[in-house]
Amino acid sequence: MSAAMIGAMGATAIGCRMPKSEQLAPTNGQIAPTSSKLAPTNGQLAPTSSQLAPTNGQLAPTARFDSARAWNDLEAQVAIGPRPAGSAALQKTRDYILAELKKAGIEARQQIFIANTPLGETSMANIIATIPGRRPERLAIASHYDTKRTPFMSPSGATVTRFVGASDGASSTAALLELARVLTTRQNEFTFELIFFDGEEAVVEWNRNNDNTYGSRHYVATALKAGTLKDLRALILLDMIGDKELLIRRDALSTPWLVDIVWNAAARIGHRAVFSNEETSIDDDHVPFLGAGVPAVDIIDLDYPAWHTAADTLDNVSARSLQIVGDVVLAALPDIEARLR
């Protein structure tokens, strides 16, 4: 992405405890009937709590976002090395994402297309995973999974020859995989679409020749043509959320009501200092959606000294940051669903 404006304030580390969410499993004492009350038919034991609906009629609780699992996904991507669009390494990354989705029992498809880049035609592929809800209308959560093609010039003017994108590409992709796992355990009113965009990064230069956001632009153009974009009710975009010293500003291009819901959820669960009320303006994969009338919010930490430098490595990202963003997204979902109902 590119920042039209970057605030002057430095990032601050915030010592927040991970919230014990309301989503935790009720204790067995609240759900599992005692054997004396429940006459087991033919000598079988009472069902385990995970199989038994709690007495208030609700189904099993949603799993918690597990940043340890997300961290494994982040490390796996970084271990593949630089992953620019059109590379064998990005194909390997795709295989990894598809395998993880399959393990979680999630249907996914590849949306393959040819992008016209300043360096010629490049084959790219978005991955679109679907978790059916009670309604066919969709909520999308997305990330780009490509990394910036080298060599390129860092913001300070240094030539970057190796770039593994621990935050810029891997962090949000890892969080998206873990959110997908969590959402399969949730009772979803809307259908969830988890979109892994290819080709977010410029092949040569972001601001020239439309050299950016190839995957998201292709998704929107295709959905418009197919008439399926009208059923996409909102997009939550994650990008660069791994920064150890996480600081996420409100993006002025994003849809205000959606930003408010996410930032209010963050404040409610103790992350007011991470989700800053300062405003910035970010050009990213959400922009094609906004242009097509889909409400969208970009959750991004561009206040990251390692942004587009060789230092965007494991040393500068943390599992805790993934946890914060995962928790905030999950905490925001009920309000987003209520608003769209």
The binding site for Zn ion (CB under 5 A) comprises: 168
Residue 46 per-residue DSSP state:
P
The least distance separating Zn ion from the CB of residue 201, rounded to whole angstroms, comes to: 5
State the number of CA atoms in the 13 A half-sphere of 309 facing the CB.
13
Scanning the structure block, which residue is given the tokens 């561009």? 302
Number of H helices, E strands in the chain: 8, 11
CB of 200 to Zn ion, least distance (A): 7
Structure tokens at 315: 């040393």
- Whichever of 40 and 155 has its CB closer to Zn ion, that residue is 155
CB of 152 to Zn ion, least distance (A): 10
- The nearest distance, CB 288 to Zn ion, in angstroms, is 16
Range 146-178 burial, b when 16+ CB lie within 10 A, else e: bbbbeebebeeeeebeebbbbbbbbbbbbbbbb
Calpha distance 341→338 (Å, rounded): 5
Complex with Zn ion: residue 168 or 198, whichever CB lies closer: 168
What is the nearest approach in angstroms of Zn ion to the Cβ of residue 327? 24
Q: Which is nearer to Zn ion, 62 or 321 (CB)?
A: 321
Largest CA distance in the chain: 75
3-class SS at 215?
helix
- Tell me which amino acid residue 205 is: E
What whole-number distance in Å separates Cα of residue 151 and Cα of residue 159?
A: 6
Adjacent-strand bridge partners of 116: 121
Smaller CB distance to Zn ion: residue 71 or 307? 307
**C-beta closer to Zn ion: residue 289 or 304:** 304
DSSP-assigned beta bridge partners for residue 2: 283
Cβ closest to Zn ion, residue 168 vs residue 251: 168
State the nearest-atom distance from the C-beta of 30 to Zn ion, in Å: 46
Residue nearest to Zn ion (CB): 168
Least Å distance, CB 105 to Zn ion, is: 31
Neighbours of 257 (CB within 10 A): 14
The string of DSSP codes covering 145-158 is ---PPSSEE-TTSP
What is the C-alpha separation between 79 and 199, in angstroms, rounded?
Answer: 20
Neighbours of 201 (CB within 10 A): 25
In angstroms, give the least distance from the CB of 323 to Zn ion: 22
Q: At what angle do helices 67-80 and 319-340 cross, to 10 degrees?
A: 110
CB nearer Zn ion, residue 150 or residue 209? 150
Give the DSSP per-residue string, 57-87.
Answer: S--SPPPPP-HHHHHHHHHHHHHH----TTS
For Zn ion, give the closer residue by CB, 168 or 193. 168
We find the least distance from the C-beta atom of residue 170 to Zn ion, in angstroms, to be 11
* Residue nearer to Zn ion on the CB measure, 168 or 303: 168
Q: d(Cα 12, Cα 338) in Å, to the nearest integer?
A: 33
